[in-house]
Amino acid sequence: FGDPAVTGKPSGDDLRSGKRTVLLAEAVQRAEASDPAAARLLRSGIGTDLSEALVRELCTVIEDVGALAAVEDHIDLLTRRALRVLETARINAPARAGLIELAGLAANRSA
């Protein structure tokens, strides 16, 4: 997901390489529960030489089953938790500021 000019890698690269991401695991789990044909399509495309059209179709499935939104929501939840912990952590101010910045960068990374 994301613009290849921003992410620095081709669209669908993780799917083509067979990279087992949290997003893909969430998508397969959700598709198995709601749309077995979509789950089969996802599983069959993992680690194969996908056309751009099939990459777009798989990305649509990932979005349609709610996996992208669920993973983004989970990232937001974990980031908020980390920031709350940092508010009261017994560390010096520069360390706190650096960790807060790092949390923001990690949560909003584009590559």
What does the pLDDT look like over 65-103, one tens digit per residue?
999 999 999 999 999 999 999 999 999 999 999 999 999
Cβ neighbours for 69, distance < 8 A, ≥ 6 positions apart: 63
* Tokens (6 digits) for 94: 């520069």
- Please tell me whether the overall predicted TM-score, pTM, comes out greater than 0.85 for this model: no
111 has pLDDT over 70: no
Q: Give the span between the Cα atoms of 11 and 23, in whole angstroms.
A: 15
Res. 9 pLDDT band, cuts 50 70 90: confident
Q: Give the span between the Cα atoms of 80 and 100, in whole angstroms.
A: 10
Please state the length of the chain: 111
- Domain positions in the chain are 4-68, 71-107
